[in-house]
Amino acid sequence: MISLQSYSLQGKTAIVTGAGQGIGKGIAEALAALGANIVIAEQNPTTCKQTADALKAKGHKALGIVTDVLSAASVDAMVKAAVKEFGQIDILVNNAGGMGKTRPKPLVQMTEEDWDFNWALNAKAHYITIHAIAPVMVKQGKGGAIVNIASIGGSIGHENLTPYGSAKASLINMTAAVAGELGPHGIRVTAVSPGTIVTPLTQAAEPLRQGFTEKTAEMTPLRRLGNPDDIAGAVAFLCSPAASFITGVNLLVDGGRLACARIPVNPQF
């Protein structure tokens, strides 16, 4: 029988990468609200501390650990510190990702460095964290939940975003493959693919994008862009006991953009 307890994460420990701001911060706040102990694995020391301190101020148990998800040594150190602090790891949310300082450009104009960076941050980093944390979950013998933050860019081609989109597509495939490997241990692996989400980064870029957000909202069936809470709600559900029979899936959280593309119609057609 479904009850409020079906969504509780009381006593669980969750690691959220890239949780210093934006979507990651929203996810950390949502999981904490459901009772989880939170590990903020964030590269930026300032936002790492700020997010952890804010959670503690609300009465939650939180630990901020400056972490470079592109470094296996850094991730291993973070995992050891998390286990030392909380005794276990039950949830991993692979949120860190993005394009960094690279910019959209045609494939023929991209450098090898552009390609390697996008694949490292949006695919290899997830391998590194899962590789470090899955054995801990298996040894604990209590199952677990891993959620990878992908993108709708991994399900549809976007011009000038080839390395980013292909890396996210790889992440979606990785999600399904690892779900099969870890399923016998009771560890569920899922992905969430956001559409366009309003974060400090997207807001800062808006003056350079010539009304991109308004145009995107108009092309979205729900007629708005997403916000971090929209993604956090989906992730919280997938991490909860209510989703205990869900694994290997990629959940689109995009306001319906991919399911129902809005195409201008000629009224005389």
- For residue 258, being part of any structural domain is answered with no
pLDDT at 124: 98
DSSP code string of 54-116: HHHHTT--EEEEE--TT-HHHHHHHHHHHHHHHS---EEEE---S-TT-----GGG--HHHHH
Closest CA to 125 of 89, 199, 72, 54: 72
Whether the pTM exceeds 0.85: the reply is yes
- For residue 181, being part of any structural domain is answered with yes
Helix (H), strand (E) at residue 24? helix 22-33
- For residue 59, being part of any structural domain is answered with yes
Give CA–CA dist 79/163, Å, rounded.
Answer: 29
Give CA–CA dist 34/241, Å, rounded.
Answer: 12
- For residue 267, being part of any structural domain is answered with no
Digits of tens for pLDDT over the chain (269 positions)? 778 888 999 999 999 999 999 999 999 999 999 999 999 999 999 999 999 999 999 999 999 999 999 999 999 999 999 999 999 999 999 999 998 878 888 889 989 999 999 999 999 999 999 999 999 999 999 999 999 999 999 998 888 889 999 999 999 999 999 999 999 999 999 999 999 898 766 555 554 455 677 888 888 889 899 999 999 999 999 999 999 999 999 999 999 888 886 655 544 43
- For residue 203, being part of any structural domain is answered with yes
Q: List active site positions.
A: 164
Q: Could you tell me the CATH number of the domain that includes residue 92?
A: 3.40.50.720
Sign of the four-CA dihedral 23, 21, 94, 10: negative
Q: Which domain holds residue 37?
A: 4-253
- For residue 73, being part of any structural domain is answered with yes
Q: What total number of domains does the chain contain? A: 1
- For residue 264, being part of any structural domain is answered with no
Give CA–CA dist 66/130, Å, rounded.
Answer: 18
- For residue 262, being part of any structural domain is answered with no
Name the residue with tokens 């510190």.
81
pLDDT at 217: 84
Closest CA to 220 of 262, 253, 157, 168: 262
CB-based contact 41:15 (threshold 8 Å)? yes
pLDDT at 218: 86
